[in-house]
Each structure stands twice: as structure tokens, then as C-alpha cells.
Amino acid sequence: MAENSSTLGVTNDQQPKRPIRLGFSLLIGPACWLGPYVGVSATLLPAKIGQLAPADKVPLVAAASAIAMTVATIANIIAGALSDVTRSKHGKRTPWIVINSILSALCLVGLSMATSVTMLLVIWGIYQAVLNAVVAPMIAQISDRVAPKWRGTISSFYGIGQAFGNYGSGIIASQFIDTTAVGIQVLATFALVGGLLSAFLAKEPSNLDEPKVKFDASTLKQNFMFPTKGARDYYLALAGKMLMVTGQYVIVGYQLYIFTDYMNLSKGATAASIATMSSILMVTGILFTALAGPISDKIHRLKAPVALTTILLGVGAFFPFFSPKPWTMFAYALVAGIGMGAYNAVDQALNVAVLPNPNSAAKDLGIINMANTLGQVFGPMIAAVAISTMGYKAMFPVETIICVVGGLLIMLIKRVK
């Protein structure tokens, strides 16, 4: 991948060796913020909603997704922008990661104790705000502290962490479908310990020597507004990512109900099936994430791998369309795990490569990573419409179409090979 001086925090010459310690920080970090989020949103939150309001569980899951979208979209951008201008002896990212990891764990504990749908949704909204104040500063460290020649490799560390969090959480959460409060509290512990450990391993240096930012009109435009100059490829990456995540969460957002309502499994069989599916996704995801990042660094290609793996995710969705049997979801998990693993290995490297301005990296990456939030919201909402109008079977080709369009948008990027 080309080295563009306009988008570098660290040059290749300044970083001859792989920043392995930072890599492990960026493995543990996403595992321990994404794991609790996915475990709760995909399994334990729907289960708790089903306990509190069984007759309205499908629209309430969609409502929870809408709240998540609204709060997280705003929080991701604002927290990223504020971390860009933070000056402290612990750097500009670490204070945000530490404080908000603690707050996110407390929110999850509160969520576990909610006794009404209203209380549940309010706490869920607060949790989204503090969670995204962890996410935006954390991912910006790739832009801040990793040279272009190592970004595929370090993006692989981040992707492996995502795989552990995304899929390992399903294994954990599936054990607590009947005891949701305990399950949420277990995941809160992961959020707390993992966030603090990630910040410790990152060992971010002081940035007190950096010029303090004056809040005039120019600063507000650079640090708090959507980028406009030289941002074509940036927005293509954002749109492609949003469609990929949307397609993924068409299924993930309703995986519990796919097993119980579409495949008519018992609670025990559902728990076992979710655990099996999550295991397949995790193993394939970790394996292909570990392989794809270093290969991307070696061949100097980012665009095609991201586009092809996005399309591959959609291909896997056809299996459960043809038969309402658990094995079809396992087949989907195998194909999706391969695609998501390779995608996660190079996705963040691609995002960094298309940044319009390195001085607003966290804010701009926050906007791109807003695609995660939007996708995680749009996916369940689209699935809810498909389920209510045409039945569960309709959701699977919908995912395929969304992912194919996302892959094609990625291929339109010009700046990156």
C-alpha cells in the first residue's frame, strides 16, 4: 500500500519493527468492548425483552436498535473529536478509554437489574454513549502510532480481537438465556478488565508537548464537522462498511429468533445451536484474520480483499434460505466466518488509508465506524420489516443483496489498491 505523507502519524522509517505491544492492546481492547456489546445486544437483551414484554419482543428489539443508532452515532463522532484535541500526560486516547470502560461496565450492571422495558431502554441508550467513547479513541491509535507498512498486521490484531468479541460472546451469552442478569454482569466484568488492560498495554506517551487547540471557527470545522475536502474515497469506504455490517446484522440481530421461531427449536437446542454457530464463526474468523493481514501487507493490496469478503458474507446467507434446519446456520457461520475474518484483518487499514486529515483521525474514524452503529441498527430494523411482511425466509436474500452492493462500492475507491 502506498505511503501517503498527508495521512501518516508515523512513517515507515520511524517504525522499523512491528509495534507488537500495541498490537496486543488492540487485540484485547475490541474483544472486551465488542464482546459484551454483541453478547448483550444479540442474545441477552432480546432474551430480557422477551421476559419483560413477550408479546412485543420483535418491535422492542427494533426500538432498542433505533436508540442505539441515535445515541451511538452522535457519541462516536463527538468522543472521537474531543479525544483528538485532548492533551494529557497519558496521551489523548488513554483517558477516554479508561474512564468510559469503567462507565460502560457500570451501565451493563444497571441493565442487568432493569425491571421494566422503559428502564432497560434508557440504560441501553446511556451505555451506547459511553461505549462509543471507548471505541473511537481506541481505533484511532492505528492512525496515530502505526506506520503504513505495519497497518495490515496491526489491523489483524484488531480483527482477531473483534472475532473473539463478536463470536466468543455468543458462546458465553448462550449459557445465560434463562439467567440474563448474571450473563450481563459477567460480560460487564470483561468490559471493565479488558478496557483497563488494553490501555495499560498501549502505553501511550504524553502529548502535553503538542500545541493546545484553540476553539475558533476553523478548529470547529476541522475537528467537529464531516470532512468535505478530498473525501470521495472516505465516504465510499463508509458506505461499503455500513452495508456490510447492515447485511451481517440482518441475521445476527435476530439469530435467537431464527432458531426459536424460524427453526422451531427448544430453548436447550437454541442455546446449543448459538454456541456451535459462535464457535464456528470464532475459529474461522480468528484463523482468516491472522492470515489475511500479513498477506495484505506483503501484496500491498487492501481494496479488493475488503470488497470480496463483503460479497462473500452475502453468499453465505443463502444456506438458511433453502432450509430451516440448524445445519444451514452452521454453514452460514462457516462462510461468514471466513469472509468476516479476512475482512476484519484489512478493514481498519483501509479506513486509515482513506482518511482526509490525520489531525482529525479519531473524529473521522469515528464517522467511518459510525457505519458499525448504523449497520447494527439498520440490519435488525430491515430484518423486522422483512419478517413482519414476508416471514423469516425473506431476510436471507435481503442480506445477500445488501452485501453485494457494499462490495461494489468498495471497488470504486481510487486512492488505495
Q: Sketch out the chain's domains with CATH numbers.
A: 19-202+216-411 (1.20.1250.20)
pLDDT values of the chain reduced to their tens digit, one per residue, 417 residues: 444 433 447 777 888 888 999 999 999 999 999 999 999 998 899 989 988 988 888 789 888 988 888 898 889 888 888 898 899 999 999 999 999 999 999 999 999 999 999 999 999 999 999 999 999 899 889 888 988 888 888 888 998 898 788 778 888 898 898 899 999 999 999 999 999 999 999 999 998 888 887 766 666 666 667 877 878 989 999 999 999 999 988 888 788 889 999 998 888 898 899 889 888 988 888 888 888 877 777 777 778 888 888 998 888 888 999 888 999 999 999 998 888 888 877 877 788 888 887 777 778 887 887 787 778 778 888 988 998 899 889 899 999 999 999 999 999 998 777
- For residue 1, the model assigns a pLDDT of 42
Grid coordinates 493490496 are at which residue? 301
All three cell numbers of 150, joined, read 505495519
Those residues whose C-beta lies under 8 Å from the C-beta of residue 195, and which sit 6 or more positions away, are 29, 32, 33, 97, 98, 100, 101, 102, 104, 105, 134
CB atoms closer than 10 angstroms to residue 213 = 15
As a whole number of angstroms, the distance between CA 52 and CA 347 comes to 38
The DSSP line for 185-235 is HHHHHHHHHHHHHHHHHH-PPP-TTSPPPP-SHHHHHHHHS---TT-HHHH
Spatial contact of 171 and 278, defined as CB atoms under 8 Å apart: yes
CA 7 to chain centre: 23
d(CA 390, CA 384): 10
What pTM was computed for the model? 0.76
Q: Can you give the C-alpha Rg of the chain in angstroms?
A: 20
Q: CA-CA distance, 145 to 188, in Å (whole number)?
A: 29
pLDDT for the residue 31: 95
Q: Which of 244, 251, 242 is nearest to 170 (CA)?
A: 251
pLDDT for 34 equals 94
Query: From start to end of 228-351, where are the E strands?
Result: none
Which residue type does 372 have? N
How many other β-carbons are positioned within 10 Å of the β-carbon of residue 22? 22
